[in-house]
Structure 1
Amino acid sequence: MIGTRKLIAFVSNSAWSVYNFRLDVIRYLMDHGFEVMVLAPDDEYSGYLQQSGCRFIPLNFNNKTENPVADLAFYRQLKDLYHQHRPDFIFHYVAKPNIYGSLAAAAIGIPSVAVITGLGYPFAKRNWLYRVVKLLYKRALRKTREVWFLNNEDAKIFINEHIVNIEKVKVLPGEGVDTDYFSFPQRMAKKDSEPFTFLMSTRLLKSKGISLYADAARILKKKNYAVRFELIGFFEQHHPDSISRDDLDRWQKEGLIHYGGFAKDVRPFLQRADCFVFPSFYNEGVPRCLMEAASMELPVITSNNRGCKEVVVNNTTGFLCHVHDPFDLADKMERIINLPLEERSRLARNGRALVIKKFNIKHVIDEYIATLNSDWSE
């Protein structure tokens, strides 16, 4: 199929997520004869996608609402757009595009793949919302050609809960990372006067473990370590799990966290850091921030949590800490501080080697091409 002028659609909850996580795949497809159309709510990254050569179609929907009328309107919007633009194949990402987009594509007769990038909040609590989402997923995923997951645990849950048949399941190595772009093999030794620097880069959500990071910083500060704790990332307005600005201001005033805002390019922050920290208890797929940090030869401390533990081999590329435990997190951070430079460098080299072997974007591109080259006939 490579070399034919087929139109491939990517449908997600933000232009930012498509640009940040899937641009390498999109560029490869366009370089090999495909046209690419992105459907997502409009944000500042929609222009960047258009500059990269994509068509961009803005969507009107709220991924957080639980209003069935709004969801029905979203389904009809997608169905109309699919009928109008007639893509040859569609990749859907995150819950509502996966559910309503898969149903809309099937109604028009367009083959599609649902990519489960993480289970999120409905699967964290087995309440009425979970039951509704499970039922909707079960119906929608019957209509897809394949269902992709980013880790085995998420796939196992969907199979065990009889949401999807195992024959449709494919587990990707995360969404991949460009290990050439995220490369910094020659890290300079720090001067004695410079503090040891930890870095956390994430969406500013409670479940990403930001308060745990602040508490661990407080524990280490009381031990009189010369340490700097940096945080970068963006607030998600109106997100029910967002940390408060009051909390962030308080942590900064206490001297616990140095907040650097949102960084379009995280590499300069990764270059200056000595260790990357990510104590998430969110239902992660495979966190991109961990792959980027390890690819940049940083030792990593993360929680022994779904998705996170895929990227870190304990005591080999970094340390795994207990979930919801700031004292264990502080203990692992203290261990990193006190390691000889050559031992930290060993962890960092091992981390980059693991990412190159397991999470290189080339492996993910191969999966897309294999699916697009398969027989689409029923």
Structure 2
Amino acid sequence: MGQGFEVMVMAPDDEYSAYLQQSGCRFIPLHFNNKTENPVADLAFYRQLKALYRQHRPDFIFHYVAKPNIYGSLAAAAIGIPSVAVITGLGYPFAKRNWLFQVVKQLYKRALRKTREVWFLNNEDAKIFINEHIVNIEKVKVLPGEGIDTEYFSFGNHSAKKESEPFTFLMSTRLLKSKGIGLYADAARILKKKNYSVRFELIGFFEQHHPDSISRDDLDRWQKEGLIHYGGFAKDVRPFLRRADCFVFPSFYNEGIPRCLMEAACMELPVITSNNRGCKEVVLNNATGFLCHVHDPFDLADKMEKILNLPAEERSRLGRQGRALVIKKFDIRHVIDEYVATLNADWAE
């Protein structure tokens, strides 16, 4: 961007580390598990961050996901480095409201006192943190999602669909129950029984040991029934989006702003998603796609049938309007401007 900032990324060392370095980032490997509930491991993570911050002395830190937001904010404050916590979604603990929620709530409450600001991706997440007295409204900023590269995710050259090819729905997501995969399979079963020539594709990765993960047995059963065609994990989702006629995401997860919805809409696909926080921000009902009831496979099937029966020209119109909405609200340049403004304001103080 030519803004004069050096970007340092601390993250687990994986197959994407090289991409960060190729992009010009300075990469520092970090060891942590965002899913563990082990307090000893969490203490070790806090100490690791504190040591790294003391060693590398960044001028400003942005934290993402729960544990870095909590322990990273505390570590940064201990050394006197200003930071922002970016809450990209409330996730599993806030859905269950059990003992883990109470623990996470108190940890967030303590940690976020130390940050300059707390950024959210939708108003409802921000409202929950304020109503639960986790953070003061004065610190809150709501971003237009995490942003998306609207040039990378572009319509491109869709090949004309042959008449013999079935209508294709696509769902791309982490393979968690709360993302609505079971609802997708149930809606597929409803439509199959109406004798539509339809293909239901699913891509995404399993999160081993996640308490909300779907089982491989369920996935195998859906495939054997001919309901779902599972394509595994895709590093590049664009070829799948180009082949699809409609994107489906019936999530009841505590979403921030789902990247999969922004990607699909940006590729000019009509979208069906649930009337759920985060999801409904990306879809204008009856204008760029359809909103369905949460936890309702029959309403989801109705919306899918509605898309099926639309003229191709009308589906194309929904897709074009969806891309226009993403460019207006969620273009990555809007989000980068927020980061630059925050850093420049901090230097001016």
The TM-score with structure 1 as length reference comes to 0.90
Please give the alpha-carbon distance, in whole angstroms, between the structure 1 residues aligned to 2:272 and 2:68.
32
Report the counterpart of residue 103 of structure 2 in structure 1.
132
Classify the secondary structure of the residue corresponding to 1:129: helix
User: Is 1:76 aligned with 2:47?
Assistant: yes
Q: Would you say 1:58 and 2:29 are equivalent positions?
A: yes
State the 1:299 CA deviation: 0.1
Paired with 1:222 and 1:117, the residues of 2 have a C-alpha distance of 38
Secondary structure of 1:199 counterpart: strand
Query: What's the offset of the Cα at 1:280?
Result: 0.6
CA displacement 1:23-70 (0-9 Å, x = unmatched): xxxxxxx64322111111222111221222222222222111112111
Could you tell which deviates more after superposition, 33-42 or 360-369?
33-42
- Larger mean CA deviation between 158-167 and 147-156 belongs to 158-167
Q: Where do residues 306-317 of structure 1 align in structure 2 (5 Å cutoff)?
A: 306-317=277-288
1:150 to 121, 127, 139: 121
Contact kept, 8 Å, 1:197 with 1:272, in 2: the verdict is: yes
Name the residue aligned to 1:182.
Answer: 153
Of stretches 217-226 and 56-65 in structure 1, the one that deviates more from structure 2 is 56-65
Give the whole-Å Cα distance in 1 for the aligned partners of 2:205 and 2:93: 23
Once the two structures are TM-superposed, the CA of residue 194 in structure 1 deviates from its matched residue by 1.1
Following superposition, the deviation at residue 176 of structure 1 comes to: 0.7
Cα distance in 2 for residues equivalent to 1:189 and 1:375: 51
The question of whether the paired residues in 2 share the 8 Å contact of 1:300 and 1:312 is answered with yes
Give me the whole-angstrom Cα distance separating, in 1, the residues matched to 2:98 and 2:205. 29
What's the CA shift for 1:271?
A: 0.6
CA–CA distance in structure 1, aligned partners of residues 63 and 196 of structure 2: 46
Tell me the alpha carbon deviations over residues 321-378 of structure 1, each in whole angstroms, 9 at most, x when there is no partner. 1111111111100000000111111111111111011111111011001101003587
C-alpha change, 1:328 and 1:295, in structure 2 (3 Å) is same
1:260-319 CA deviation, whole Å, 9 max, x = no partner?
A: 111111111111100000011110000000001001100000011110000001111100
In 2, Cα distance between equivalents of 1:116 and 1:149: 5
CA distance, structure 2, for counterparts of residue 377 and residue 346 of structure 1: 46
Shift of 1:239: 1.4
C-alpha separation in 1, matches of 2:326 and 2:339: 19
Aligned counterparts of 1:104 and 1:241: Cα–Cα separation in 2: 30
In the TM superposition, what is the alpha-carbon distance from 1:131 to its structure 2 partner?
1.4
Quick one: distance in 2 between partners of 1:184 and 1:63? Answer: 35
- Identity within the alignment, %: 90
In 2, are the aligned partners of 1:214 and 1:251 still within 8 Å (CA)?
Answer: yes
Structure 1: state its 5+ residue gaps: 1-29
Task: Give the distance between the partners of 2:33 and 2:124, measured in 1 at CA.
Answer: 27
Task: Give, in whole Å, the separation in 1 of the partners of 2:96 and 2:234.
Answer: 32
**Partner Cα separation in structure 1 for residue 186 and residue 40 of structure 2:** 42
| Number of residues of Structure 1 aligned to a counterpart in Structure 2 | 349
Structure 1 range deviating more: 219-228 or 367-376:
367-376
- Is the 1:74–1:100 Cα contact (8 Å) retained in structure 2? yes
Question: Is the partner of 1:235 in helix, strand or coil?
Answer: coil
CA distance in 1 between counterparts of 2:188 and 2:328 reads: 33
Which residue of structure 2 aligns with residue 160 of structure 1?
131
Deviations, residues 199-225 of structure 1 (Å, cap 9, x unaligned): 001111111111111111111111110
Two-structure CA RMSD over aligned residues (Å): 1.4
Equivalent of residue 237 in structure 2, options 256, 259, 266: 266
Q: TM-score, normalised by structure 2?
A: 0.97
Contact 1:111/1:376 (8 A) holds in 2: no
1:81 CA drift (Å): 0.5
SS of structure 1 residue aligned to 2:306: helix
CA contact under 8 A between 1:185 and 1:297: conserved in structure 2? no
- Residue aligned with 2:308, SS: helix
The Cα offsets for residues 207-247 of structure 1, whole Å up to 9 and x where unpaired, read as 11111111111111111100011111111122121111111
Unaligned residue ranges in structure 2 (runs of 5+): none
Does residue 206 of structure 1 match 2:177?
yes
- Alpha-carbon distance in 2 for matches of 1:149, 1:276: 25
- The answer as to 2:327 corresponding to 1:356 is yes
